[in-house]
Amino acid sequence: MLEPEERQELKKGMRASKVIWVFFLASLALYLIICHQINNELVDIGFDDDTLWLIKAILAFSAFMTLVTAYFMKKYTLLIQATNAKTSIFQKMFTSKTRKFVFSQNLALSKYTRVTMTSIAFAESVGIYGLILFYLSGEFITLYAFVIVSAIALLYFRPRFEELEQLAINLKRHHDSSNPSPI
């Protein structure tokens, strides 16, 4: 279990992730506003229907693979191995030999922030694919489809305090089990 000070530190660190997430979500609305503003000024690029269909299919497949990658990346990164692994070479390289590696809540926060921001960026890229398709075809239905999928993915990958807290508990438990205190 986490101490109240540790929970407070995690909550403080979580605020930045939530603010960034809100800006990513707002950017989807901005894409829609911009596309409605420039709708009449679009220049026909001259792609035939088959080429546009192929580009849409490629970007739809890319969007699907991007979201699948984000899902498994987040699940794998937040998973803490239950094995009692020895100290990693990086920990040995960057810590003093006279001091033991000290566990910090910042490890959980930085790991969670990194994976959440990457997942959010992947989800945002789906909206960008829709923006690209709108510039190529001028079709609002395609833009809306990609933006809606992106918004749903952003809601799914949003920063959650419960996940961060569980990660911190797991990291603390893992650290305590791999470094038993001498008696």
- pLDDT tens digit string along 83-115? 444 455 545 554 455 444 444 457 888 888 999
Q: How many CB atoms lie within 10 A of CB 82?
A: 10
Res 84: pLDDT: 41
Nearest to 127 by CA among 138, 103, 115, 143: 143
- pLDDT: which is higher, 111 or 30: 30
pLDDT at 28 over 70: yes
**Is this prediction's pTM over 0.85?**
no
Within 8 A by CB and 6+ apart from 126, the residues are 63, 66, 67, 146, 149, 150, 153
Residue 183 lies in a domain: no
Sole residue written with tokens 């239950």 = 82
Count how many domains the chain has.
1
Cα distance between residue 87 and residue 109, in whole Å: 20
pLDDT tops 90 at residue 151? yes
Q: 105-137 and 4-38 are packed helices; what angle lies between their axes, rounded to 10 degrees?
A: 10
Whether the per-residue pLDDT at 62 is higher than 70: the answer is: yes
Taking a C-beta distance cutoff of 8 angstroms, is the pair 163, 13 a contact?
A: no
| pLDDT at position 99 | 47
The overall average pLDDT reported for the chain is 83
Which structural domain, as residue segments, surrounds residue 100? 4-178
Residue 105, in any domain of the structure: yes
The answer as to whether 135 is a domain residue is: yes
Q: Is 112 helix (H, G, I), strand (E, B) or coil?
A: helix
Classify residue 177 by its DSSP letter.
H
Residue 107 lies in a domain: yes
**Does residue 110 contact residue 93 with C-beta atoms inside 8 Å?**
no
61 pLDDT more than 80: yes
Q: DSSP label at 81? A: P
Nearest-angstrom CA–CA distance, 113 and 135: 33
For residue 170, tell me if it sits in a domain. Answer: yes
pLDDT number for residue 97: 53
Average pLDDT over residues 10-21: 90
pLDDT band at 46 (very low <50, low <70, confident <90, very high): confident
Asked if pLDDT for residue 6 goes beyond 70, the answer is yes
Name which residue leads in pLDDT, 171 or 146. 146
At residue 125, the pLDDT reads: 97
